[in-house]
Amino acid sequence: MGHARKIEDLLETAGRTAAGSAQALRGALEFTGRVAAAALSGIVRPRSFRLPDFGAVFLRTGAEAVPVTLLVGFLLGFIIAYMSAAMLNKFGAEIYVANLIGLALIRELGTIVAAIVIAARSASAFAAEIGTMVVNDEIAAMRTMGIDPVRHLALPRIAAGALALPILSLFADLAGLVGGYITLALFGYSARIFLTNAFAFCSAGDLATTLAKGVVFGVLISATGCRCGLETGAGSDAVGKATTSAVVTSLVLFIAADGLFALVSSAIAA
Amino acid sequence: MTDEPTPVIETEGLSVGYGDRVVQRGLDLRIARGEIFVLLGGSGCGKSTVLRTLIGLVPPLAGRVRILGRVFAEAGREPEENPAILRHLGVMFQNGALFGSKTLLENCALPQETLTDRAPEEIERISRDRLRDVGLLDFADFLPKEISGGMQKRAAIARALTLDPDILFLDEPSAGLDPVTSAELDELILRIRAEKGTTIVLVSHELASIFAIADRAVFLDRATHTVLDEGAPAFLRDNSPHKAVRSFFNRTPERKATGHA
């Protein structure tokens, strides 16, 4: 009797979890469809795209994130270079730190730094802004006026994220290279030698891939922030939950997407 | 053939709620053109949910809503934007729901930009006219956070009126206002009806306001999830056979109201 009850509970929990996951997946697909429809409508009728909103969000998402991106990129480049140099110096191979830094930043780390900055600053901000509008009935008011919140609020934010992230990743690359160079300068290497080595293993294809990844991550992170905001529930803690969910989900999603990019790149290279 | 005018709002077997939770069931409402109609009842009886269902924000669990003779919301059908009907509706939410990042003038312009073909100059003129109607023209360039709660509600009514709606929905317009501001709002509502013939549907708890403006009310019961009584507020207060209704109007706890039965 006891075992039967436990199995019953287990099955019920599994069923509820599966139903919840299916509902979440359905919600995500619906939102993706609505964003795609809004984007298509923006392409077909460019005047329907809210350019002033896009500009304001781009400033907040991109321009205002430059200082923190530069700082994090610089520190990351400096730390990696310093730790690698300390190790490679034992073999007289510290010059390869430049190759390591160049490759790591341009292929991976610059984009990851920018993605983390945007997830922390903007996905949370999007969820909080839109979530507060849900709680204050502003989204409901929009619907009664025939205004599509996805087109009006989400699309400019997603477009801003898609444009800002690759640009920020270039800033992160630049700052990381400066951090790496400062380390190698301590070992007596010139800027010319550093730069020659830093770009020795990098190709234009690497840069194109990193920019493409930036666009994809920007879309994923911004869309997650907007979706979490639009799905904010009722109550005083709902906005906090939406904000936390936006940051956590967007981090997981972009890391997963990065893994996918790595797999596809390897498959293409093989 | 009857003399009864065609209702501007009609519900047929309407049940409202969220998911499995039915808040009100079997509502058959008929609201006539130019009527001021109040949804009332105790806290948690589902007044606001009924209002949200009427304006298409919450899908019905059963039945349908007709607005101006056309099906606007129906059970089993996903809510969809229907600009042809939305164009005739104005809504004021309980807290005003003004867009915080926009001035009062911009708030009033937004529904016109979306639902009409009016030129920008005309949109601005109408927005200013409506703000003047509610006594807020001098505050046109203020943000909502820069004005009081009562002014925000008036601004929300101005925004709702910019489309010259046939039907105006008001969710607790007097809630949280002092008696003088509340009375001013009542006067405004009566003036809108008198000048424009607008049908007004409101949710309210404020007895003074209900007696001052309402033509007819329905009393929604929390316990049975149905309409308990319907009629003119004064008639319900004095003649309702239901103790809960009389208790509500006479501000007496239901358990002490047996003497009035």
Nearest to B67 by CA among B205, B199, B171: B199
Quickly list DSSP for B190-214.
HHHHHHH--EEEEE---HHHHHHH-
Residue A92 scores a pLDDT above 60: yes
Given a contact cutoff of 8 angstroms between Cβ atoms, the answer to whether B205 and B175 are in contact is yes
Please name every residue paired with B12 in a beta bridge, in sequence order, or none if there are none.
B64
Q: What is the mean pLDDT of residues A32-60?
A: 84
Find residue B72's DSSP bridge partners.
Answer: none
d(CA A11, CA A20): 14
Is residue A46 exposed (0-12), middle (13-18) or buried (19+ Cβ within 10 Å)?
Answer: exposed
The residue-averaged pLDDT of A180-207 equals: 86
For CATH 3.40.50.300, the residue range(s) in chain B are: 9-88+166-260
Among A48, A145, A236, A239, most B C-beta atoms within 10 A, so best to mutate, is A145
- B160-201, pLDDT tens digit by residue? 889 889 999 999 888 777 888 788 888 888 988 998 889 999
With contacts defined as CB-CB under 8 Å, which chain A residues touch B86?
Answer: 144-146
Report which of residues B233 and A201 the model is more confident about.
B233
Residue B127 in this model has a pLDDT that exceeds 90: yes
The pLDDT value recorded for residue A88 is 86
A10-24 average pLDDT score: 84
* Contact call for residues B90 and B165 (beta carbons, < 8 A): yes
Please check the confidence at residue A46 and state whether its pLDDT lies above 80.
Answer: no
Per-residue pLDDT tens for B132-171? 888 889 999 999 999 988 889 889 989 988 988 999 999 9
Phi, psi of B36 (to 5 degrees): -105, 115
What pTM does this model have?
0.82
CB of A1 within 8 Å of a chain B CB? The answer is no
Per the CB < 8 Å rule, is B87 touching A146? yes
**pLDDT, average across residues A226-231:** 93
| Span A109-120, average pLDDT | 95
Length of chain A: 270
Distances in Å between the Cα of B97 and the Cα atoms of A17, A120, B205 are: 35, 28, 19
Q: Token pair of A28, please?
A: 């995500």
Which amino acid type is present at position B32? A
Q: What whole-number percentage of chain A has pLDDT above 90? A: 48
**Chain B residue closest in CA terms to A135:** B97
Q: Which CATH architecture has domain B9-88+166-260?
A: 3-Layer(aba) Sandwich (3.40)
Does B261 score more than 70 pLDDT?
no
Interface predicted TM-score (ipTM): 0.81
CB A48 within 8 A of CB A42: yes
- Within an 8 Å CB–CB cutoff, is residue A236 touching chain B? no
Task: State residue B259's pLDDT score.
Answer: 44
Mean predicted confidence (pLDDT) in A186-204 = 85
Q: Which residues of B touch A145 (CB under 8 A)?
A: 86, 110-111, 114-115
Count of helices and strands (H, E) across chain A:
12, 0
Quote the Cα angle for B259-B260-B261, to 5°: 95
DSSP label of B46: S
Predicted confidence at residue A250, as pLDDT, reads: 92
Residue B30 near residue B7, CB atoms below 8 Å: yes
| Cα distance between residue B216 and residue B172, in whole Å | 16
- Residue-range domain boundaries for chain A: 1-49, 50-269
